[in-house]
């Protein structure tokens, strides 16, 4: 096998013109059933597959979606990517993956103009990145997944972070906690912001104040979680519960707590966000607000396909509910009904 056979080669073999072969390939109804059968047989015998490049050049569609992500070693991102792969494959689309941390900005800029893909999925939009602006300016259909940009005229599908955070806050308050720690990310994006604000709102609505000394903001989720835990738990009067905006951060906090001998949930309750697969592991057994990964991805890809088919349709911004999943990190310890700090 030196060169893959072309449709012209097979046309000759089947005794028809290349156009007819092409018509068979595209299921064009204007072809005689007998001819179609004969051609199909020849194609099959030759194990023929149309050249995707030539086809894409002609039709303008590549059946490929570009995905921009950050590091997939973060468990949630891995789950997101996995789901994106599953859904794209189920609708016959390929995926080109770019990591916005590795890839130089020029590469990304080039890619946006190359028409190499039919559309983009951005999963890590941040306000300080030009990526979403560039993507939209390129004219290629684009959907923001998981992380949105407020007020941007672009299809977006996100979890309802405010609501999820609010539910987590209310849950803690209703369990009797009044001295609560909050660990957020120094990240610029509405995701962490809403996971912060929603939580505060729940406490405020319940008349619970959050001490400034109980709020820590960190940069690197897992690594900085250690320090955050140490800071909060080594206080003279440590909080009885800690809520944090990411599972990965919660794992770091748990690690940090263990390192200084603090027990979860006996000494302190812990809540994460994302409900990653790891949260269910015994070693963590973490109560967490679930992001509906499958729904987000499925909805987002549906939206992207609609926009590809109909570029001028109105923008949709969809927010999906995030249910709280309760596990052992907020187990029913004695002071849950009669919180320690009131004793």
Partner DNA sequence: GTATACAATGAATACGTATACACAGTGCTG
Partner DNA sequence: CAGCACTGTGTATACGTATTCATTGTATAC
Q: Which residues bind its own copies (CB under 8 A)?
A: 1, 4, 47-54, 56-57, 62, 64, 71-73, 75, 78-79, 81-82, 85-86, 89-90, 92, 94-99, 102-104, 107, 109-111, 113-116, 139, 222, 226, 251-252, 254-256, 258-259, 277, 281-284
What is the contact surface with DNA in residues (CB under 7 A)? 3-4, 6-8, 15-20, 22-23, 25-26, 28-36, 50-51, 54-55, 57-59
Nearest to 262 by CA among 231, 217, 287, 289: 231
5 vs 85, beta carbon nearer DNA? 5
**Measured on CA atoms in the order 106, 109, 115, 118, is the torsion positive or negative?**
positive
The residues near 65 (Cβ < 8 Å, ≥ 6 apart) are 88, 93, 94, 95, 96, 117, 118, 119, 120, 121, 301, 304
Q: What is the dihedral of CA 81, 82, 84, 85, to 10 degrees?
A: 120
34 vs 282, beta carbon nearer its own copies? 282
- Taking a C-beta distance cutoff of 8 angstroms, is the pair 56, 28 a contact? no
34 vs 128, beta carbon nearer DNA? 34
Burial of 15 (0-12, 13-18, 19+ CB in 10 A): exposed
Distance CA 339, CA 267 (A): 11
39 vs 257, beta carbon nearer DNA? 39
332 binds, among its own copies, DNA, none (CB under 5 to 8 A by kind): none
State how beta strands 215-218 and 180-185 pair: parallel
As measured in angstroms, the least distance from the Cβ of 220 to its own copies is 12
Q: What is the dihedral of CA 122, 124, 125, 131, to 10 degrees?
A: -60
255 binds, among DNA, its own copies, none (CB under 5 to 8 A by kind): its own copies
As measured in angstroms, the least distance from the Cβ of 217 to its own copies is 21
59 binds, among DNA, its own copies, none (CB under 5 to 8 A by kind): DNA
20 binds, among DNA, its own copies, none (CB under 5 to 8 A by kind): DNA
Tokens 């603090």 identify what position? 262
Distance CA 29, CA 302 (A): 28
19 vs 54, beta carbon nearer its own copies? 54
As measured in angstroms, the least distance from the Cβ of 256 to its own copies is 7
213 vs 263, beta carbon nearer its own copies? 263
């Amino acid at each position: 096998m030196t060169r893959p056979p072309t449709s012209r080669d097979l046309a000759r073999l089947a005794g028809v013109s290349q156009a007819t072969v092409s018509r068979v390939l595209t299921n064009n109804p204007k072809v005689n059933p007998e001819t179609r059968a004969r051609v199909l047989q020849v194609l099959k015998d030759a194990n023929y597959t149309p050249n995707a490049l030539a086809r894409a050049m002609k039709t303008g569609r590549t059946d490929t979606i570009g995905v921009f992500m950050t590091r997939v070693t973060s468990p949630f991102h891995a789950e997101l990517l996995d789901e994106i792969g599953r859904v794209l494959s189920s609708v016959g689309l390929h995926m080109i993956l770019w990591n916005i941390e590795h890839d130089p900005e020029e590469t990304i800029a080039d890619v946006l103009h190359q028409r190499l893909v039919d559309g983009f999925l951005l999963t890590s939009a941040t306000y300080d990145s030009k990526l979403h602006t560039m993507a939209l300016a390129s004219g290629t259909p684009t959907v923001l997944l998981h992380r949105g940009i407020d007020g941007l005229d672009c299809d977006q599908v996100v979890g309802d972070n405010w609501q999820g955070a609010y539910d987590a806050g209310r849950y803690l308050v209703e369990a009797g906690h009044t001295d609560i720690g909050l660990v957020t990310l120094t990240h610029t994006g509405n995701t962490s912001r809403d996971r912060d604000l929603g939580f505060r709102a729940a406490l405020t609505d319940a008349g619970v104040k959050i001490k400034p000394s109980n709020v820590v903001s960190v940069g690197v989720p897992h690594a900085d979680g250690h320090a955050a835990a140490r800071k909060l738990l080594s206080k003279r009067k440590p909080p009885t519960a800690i809520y944090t905006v990411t599972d990965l951060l919660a794992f770091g906090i748990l690690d940090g707590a263990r390192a200084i001998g603090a027990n979860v949930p006996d000494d302190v309750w812990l809540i994460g966000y994302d409900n990653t697969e790891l949260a269910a592991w015994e070693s963590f057994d973490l109560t967490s607000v679930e992001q509906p990964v499958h729904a987000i991805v499925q909805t987002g890809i549906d939206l992207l396909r609609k926009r590809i088919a109909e570029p001028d349709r109105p923008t949709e911004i969809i927010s999906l509910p995030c249910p709280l999943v309760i596990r052992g990190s907020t187990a029913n310890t004695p002071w849950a009904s009669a919180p320690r700090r009131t004793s």
